Amino acid sequence: MSDPRATTTGNRGLQIEEPLIFEQGSPDKTAVDLPEPPSTKDRLGGVRRSGPIGLPGLSEPEVVRHYLRLSQKNFSIDHGFYPLGSCTMKHNPRLNEKLARLPGIGDLHPLQPTATVQGALALIDACAHWLKALTGMPAVAMSPAAGAHGESVGLMTIRAALEDRGDARKRVLVPDSAHGTNPATAHACGYAVEGIPADDRGRVDLAAFREKLDADVAAIMLTNPNTCGLFENDILDIAAAVHDAGAFFYCDGANLNAIVGRVRPGDLGVDCMHINLHKTFSTPHGGGGPGSGPVVLSEALAPYAPVPYVVQGPDGFELIEDPARSDAKPFGRIKGFHGQFGMFVRALGYMMSMGSDGLRQVSGDAVLNANYLLACLRDTVTLAFEGPCMHEVLFDEGFLKETGVTTLDFAKALIDEGFHPMTVYFPLVVHGAMLVEPTETETKATLDTFVETMKALTARARAGDVEYFQEAPRLTPRRRLDETMAARNPILRWRPPAVDKAAE
Ligand SMILES: Cc1ncc(COP(=O)(O)O)c(C=O)c1O
């Protein structure tokens, strides 16, 4: 262990180990005088502390610096460009954080009587209204806690609708380019998952899809725009075929950021779609906060949506929590309480502050930024599929051929340049994939710096400096983790077959 005192001065703190707070302070030291708490006698039901518990004493600056240094050891959207494709790491406006912390909102308790939380129920209702209007769908289940949770709700709703008509279908079709959560959800919901290959345009192979579609298929789970960053142009034909077969059309709406304000999935024949509020509507993501995955539903599925839901009656807003009290046929409850209320506050704040014209501009700018990167890099980095793309651009490892540098090495080198790597090795339909999603919240200057860096690293790889890449990252508090597991992974070991130019 390094000397704890060293971290309290200068910039070295970021490069060396951060001691535990227990190593920096000691129980006999304190810099804060707290008054004795009033009559603590009975607060532990007569149980008394029998001795000191050994919590370290530290001054306020010591505590603040400890946690600040820890936070700086990680990379976040607030540190720099974070083009993690398929994850939409866009800026979360601070305005929405302020709204979520207003005392009348932040101090609510989910068990309060509904008469005392009319404003909160109105807020859930307003958020639901925006989601329905933007997607052109008549109903929404607000409670799912994330995208994958929304997928489960969607498939459980579909199953309830099928069971209601005495139709026990067993299979769900999932394109090979789907996010891993799609087949996992279908499997967890008890369906047999059947893959549909992508064609050479990176879209669903229509002929293969039609071949697999029959009276045993409960649903197709299609992502649009898909995980190759491409719009599924055949979506109307797919929807018509699914409905003709008596099945339901589940659309994975995680990439709504690319079409919001421009395309309403309801107009495309979608029956059911989850929306990742943490991707399109700027609520905090990943370690930064809980997700939220409301599911919009067609007329055919609306009656089976889970409880709870908000309705406006003559005496104000009501929360329908008991399936037996419902006029519809909800399949049950999927989550405690009423969904991620704090996320509804942020998402509604975002939607209202952007307005419908602002949201339309979001998707326009997200697609423009991705296509700008495509145009700037297409002569340097190999495109997986011919463009234009939607909100993310997909490259493959072709440009690294014969350099000895892998997609993984290249991504690690980006970290030293101050960028979070793009998503690598996903989607699986492309070898050595690099999925870059700039989002609408980045400036041209940031994108230009990224482009220059990508070009400079490519030149370095082609110049044969393999060691530089294999040792990256050098400038992070932790160096590269043991990649031997990855090295055994057949997907990561895959190399494109050598092309015989003469034979071509
Ligand atoms: C296309 C797609 N579907 C589903 C999900 C799952 O969403 P979540 O991570 O909120 O469960 C994601 C997550 O990024 C996604 O990109």
pLDDT tens digits, one per residue of 426-437: 999 999 999 999
Q: Are residues 248 and 384 in the same domain?
A: no
pLDDT at 111 over 60: yes
Share of the chain residues as helix, strand and coil, in percent rounded to the nearest 5: 40, 10, 50
Token code pair at residue 348: 């509604």
Nearest CA-CA partner of 223 in 200, 191, 198, 192: 198
pLDDT at 211 over 80: yes
Whole-prediction pTM value? 0.88
Among the atoms of ligand 1, which is closest to the Cα of residue 151? 4
Q: Are residues 174 and 284 in the same domain?
A: yes
* pLDDT of 323: 74
Residue 180 inside a domain? The answer is yes
pLDDT at 479 over 90: no
Q: Are residues 108 and 185 in the same domain?
A: yes
Our answer on whether the CB atom of 223 is closer than 6 Å to any ligand 1 atom is yes
How many Å apart are CA 407 and CA 390, to the nearest integer? 22
pLDDT at 9 over 70: no
Residue 88 inside a domain? The answer is no
What mean pLDDT comes out for the span 356-367? 98
Q: Are residues 333 and 207 in the same domain?
A: yes
* pLDDT of 492: 64
Residue 55's pLDDT band (boundaries 50, 70, 90)? Answer: confident
Residue 56 inside a domain? The answer is no
Q: Domain ends where: 332, 352, 372?
A: 352
Ligand 1 centroid from CA 224, angstroms: 12
* pLDDT of 13: 47
CATH number, domain containing residue 418: 3.90.1150.10
Residue 125 inside a domain? The answer is yes
Our answer on whether the CB atom of 293 is closer than 6 Å to any ligand 1 atom is yes
pLDDT at 165 over 60: yes
Nearest CA-CA partner of 221 in 262, 264, 177, 261: 177
pLDDT tens per residue, range 128-139: 999 999 999 999
* pLDDT of 289: 63
Q: Where are the alpha helices (DSSP H) in 286-437?
A: 341-377, 407-416
pLDDT tens per residue, range 253-265: 999 999 999 999 9
CATH number, domain containing residue 270: 3.40.640.10
Residue 8 inside a domain? The answer is no
Share of the chain above pLDDT 90, in %: 75
pLDDT at 502 over 60: no
Among the atoms of ligand 1, which is closest to the Cα of residue 255? 1
Q: Are residues 345 and 378 in the same domain?
A: no
By residue range, what is the domain housing residue 134?
96-352
**Contact between residue 272 and residue 251 where contact means Cβ atoms under 8 Å apart:** yes
What mean pLDDT comes out for the span 173-197? 95
Residue 154 inside a domain? The answer is yes
Q: Domain ends where: 317, 337, 352?
A: 352
* pLDDT of 54: 84
Among the atoms of ligand 1, which is closest to the Cα of residue 178? 1
Q: Are residues 232 and 281 in the same domain?
A: yes
Residue 68 inside a domain? The answer is no
What mean pLDDT comes out for the span 217-225? 97
Among the atoms of ligand 1, which is closest to the Cα of residue 227? 1
Our answer on whether the CB atom of 423 is closer than 6 Å to any ligand 1 atom is no
Q: Domain ends where: 323, 352, 381?
A: 352
pLDDT tens per residue, range 264-287: 999 999 999 999 999 999 998 866
Q: Which of 283-292, 444-453, 465-474 has the lowest mean pLDDT?
A: 283-292
Q: Are residues 310 and 360 in the same domain?
A: no
Q: Which of 60-74, 94-108, 225-239 has the lowest mean pLDDT?
A: 60-74
Residue 351's pLDDT band (boundaries 50, 70, 90)? Answer: very high
Q: Are residues 484 and 344 in the same domain?
A: no
Residue 479 inside a domain? The answer is yes
What mean pLDDT comes out for the span 440-448? 97
Q: Are residues 288 and 314 in the same domain?
A: yes
Q: Are residues 337 and 375 in the same domain?
A: no
Q: Are residues 331 and 371 in the same domain?
A: no
Q: Are residues 477 and 369 in the same domain?
A: yes
How many distinct structural domains can be found in the chain? 2
How many Å apart are CA 1 and CA 372, to the nearest integer? 47
Our answer on whether the CB atom of 147 is closer than 6 Å to any ligand 1 atom is yes
